[in-house]
Each structure stands twice: as structure tokens, then as C-alpha cells.
Structure 1
């Protein structure tokens, strides 16, 4: 989903990587909100924290879309030797 398509009040799904464990990721529901420091921008509200919405963030309007990419990226079979 293009960043320009989201607006404050939208509910989206993101693939969120744990900042303390790079190999841990989950699909989380997030809310698009008015950016707290820039009234002309939006941010993601996730885990009770504002996150800047960056152009390369994987943001989805549908959980199944997020799950499809998640499975492609983190499919355990692809890591087996």
C-alpha cells in the first residue's frame, strides 16, 4: 500500500520486527494517526507508541495480504538446510 493512500483514522496491518531480536517479527494491527509533531503528516500508533510511517514500510489494509508477505519472508521451510 502506498503511504499516500492512508489517512488518520485508518486501521492497517504491519509486519513489525522486534528491535531487540532481528529474527522475530509479527503481524500487528496499527492505527494511522495524525503525526504528533507534524500536523501535515501521519504516523502509525502501535504498542502505545508513535512510529514514523516511512516510504518502505510494509503497510496493508487487509490481514491476509500482510500474512501472505510474512509467509514469503519468514517461511521456516526456506531456512532449512
Structure 2
């Protein structure tokens, strides 16, 4: 199953970028890579898999196909680079 979000089609296996708010510090947002997967709780639907948790993949979710797009949106909404994602922090 594909889901179109802002004219983008997503398929299970895609890696996308989302804004993620720290559940312990709600005023901190970061850009985080997430996997698009088949939702194990709702067959036939897609979900985002992030931090060992499945999140609904809906048209209301701000999803970016590239890190550059996510960083540009982050700059627009938050005005600084504190939340910029980097490859080294993701794999450590």
C-alpha cells in the first residue's frame, strides 16, 4: 500500500525524516530518520517506526523525503540549527 503525503508516495521500506519532540522536554524538537513500515497493528496500513514505536502515518504528519528538506523546514519553523540531524548521532 502507498500513502501520498503532500504529493509524495510512501512505501514500506522508505526512510523519511520527521520532527520528533522529546517526550520529556516538549519544547525540544529534533529531526529524526524514521522507517515507513507495514503497520503490524492495522494490516493494510502504513506506519512510521521510530524509537521502537509505531506511529500512524497520516496525511497530517509532516514527513520529508530528504534530510535537506527536513532541515529547510526546521529552519523555517524553528529558526535555528539546534535540531539538525546528522549521520553520526543516528548511528551511535
Residue 70 of structure 1 and its aligned partner are, at CA, apart by 0.5
> Where do 4+ consecutive residues of structure 1 move more than 3 Å?
none
Structure 2: tracts of 5 or more residues without a match: 81-92
2:57 to 53, 58, 64: 53
Q: Which has the higher contact order (CA 8 A, sep 6+)?
A: 1
More strand by share: 2
**Per residue, is there more helix in 1 or in 2?**
1
Give the number of aligned pairs. Answer: 76
- TM-score normalised by the chain length of structure 2: 0.74
Structure 1, gaps ≥5 residues long: 77-81
TM-score normalized by the length of structure 1? 0.83
